[in-house]
Amino acid sequence: MLEFDIVPARRRPAEERAALLADPGFGRVFTDHMITIKFGEDGWHDARLIPFGPLSLSPATAALHYSQELFEGLKAYALPNGEIGLFRPEANARRLNATAERLAMPALPEELFLKAVWTLVEADRDWVPSGEGQSLYIRPFMIATDPFLGVRPSSEYLFAVIASPSGAYFSGGAKPVTVWISQDYSRAAPGGTGHVKAAANYAVSLRAQAQAQDAGCDQTVFLDAVEQRWIEESGSMNLFFVYENSHLVTPPLNGSILPGVTRDSVIRLARHNGWTVEERPYSVDEWRADAESGALRETFACGTGVVITAIGRARSRDGEFTIAGAAEGPVTASIRDTLVGIQRGRLEDPFGWSVRRP
């Protein structure tokens, strides 16, 4: 296993840190250090913990032209006993490699991924905020670095990890959100990259998200690219539909839906509770009809950033419908409280999801 060279940063003073941690927002404050590891002919090399700062890249860097780049997202939590907990980091390590494979990028050994994340978290542990709803958001990413404009997989890569103390994902707090059902734009198609965390997936979703915002909505819901009929996911969150007796429905991983770690955790938690979870195609017509008849009790979205958020309303060019009076329902609240409790070390963790430094 590679050893990390340590180049210590000038640490910002405690008062400056405290001021930034008071209201960090999401993804705009960064810790003192970052990790970089290079890949070339001889495999992974030059693992470093260095001061957070600009990268120097050739303007011909392949990633800038052809989007051969990927990312991950996970969180570190300040636990009540003073330790730091990561939530299922090995799931992110595995998914990073699934993405790398799809994008013709090299695999990163899972142990190296975990060591990189822990090395950064330990170095910057003073930046793990402990306030309600706060965590340290960790952003691993990999880019193709060949300075070459030919279209082919790069031969050199940079893997890096940065970390950002964060508060709640949506500025509005935990209140139910309104979503826009996108009928003009698709996010992903069969055979494409929707099932992996390719940076380019986000570029193609931004126009739809802008349209959602213009329509007064918080988030976008994407339909399948072929029939424009089946619900896939929100641009960065997976979706669940809750029926009577805690019966949950979620779209199946069909090759254009991102397999969220939170999605998987919700499914396991629900089954652990004795609830039913059906992974099956779910159409926008069924969603609307069941919301209007009242058969549908709740809808929620889930992802690392937001954890769980209720969806109160859905809007599209065809009009709007409301789900159960646009109030957060008990299943959504229960799953959120349990997941957050496990993540923050406040509840028993029968799944072994919250891990400490090895």
Ligand X SMILES: *Cc1c(COP(=O)(O)O)cnc(C)c1O
Distance CA 131, CA 287 (A): 36
- Give the Å distances, CA to CA, from 310 to 134, 176, 325, 357: 19, 5, 12, 33
Listed in sequence order, the residues at least 6 apart from 290 whose beta carbon sits closer than 8 Å to its beta carbon are 241, 243, 296
Closer of 263 and 336 to ligand X (Cβ): 263
Q: Measured from the CB of residue 71, what is the shortest distance to ligand X in angstroms?
A: 8
Closer of 26 and 148 to ligand X (Cβ): 26
Beta pairing class for 296-303 and 238-243: antiparallel
Q: Measured from the CB of residue 51, what is the shortest distance to ligand X in angstroms?
A: 28
Closer of 4 and 300 to ligand X (Cβ): 300
DSSP 325: G
The one-letter amino acid code at 39 reads F
Closer of 262 and 316 to ligand X (Cβ): 262
Distance CA 100, CA 43 (A): 14
Closer of 20 and 142 to ligand X (Cβ): 142
Q: Dihedral (C-alpha) 191, 192, 195, 200: value to the nearest 10 degrees?
A: 170
Q: Measured from the CB of residue 123, what is the shortest distance to ligand X in angstroms?
A: 24
Residue with tokens 């950033």, as numbered in its chain: 305
Closer of 19 and 210 to ligand X (Cβ): 210
Q: Measured from the CB of residue 175, what is the shortest distance to ligand X in angstroms?
A: 21
Closest CA to 36 of 51, 52, 49, 22: 49
CB atoms within 10 A of CB 256: 24
Q: Measured from the CB of residue 21, what is the shortest distance to ligand X in angstroms?
A: 23
* Residue whose CB is nearest to ligand X in the complex, by number: 260
Q: Measured from the CB of residue 198, what is the shortest distance to ligand X in angstroms?
A: 9
Q: Measured from the CB of residue 201, what is the shortest distance to ligand X in angstroms?
A: 6
Q: Which two tokens stand for residue 276?
A: 């039913």
* Secondary structure of residue 272 in the 3-state scheme: helix
Closer of 116 and 221 to ligand X (Cβ): 221
Binding site for ligand X (CB under 6 A): 73, 197, 201, 233, 235-238, 258, 260-263, 303-304
Distance CA 50, CA 196 (A): 28
Distance CA 324, CA 167 (A): 28
Residue ranges in 127-260 assigned as alpha helix (H): 199-203, 206-214
Q: Measured from the CB of residue 42, what is the shortest distance to ligand X in angstroms?
A: 31
Closer of 123 and 177 to ligand X (Cβ): 177
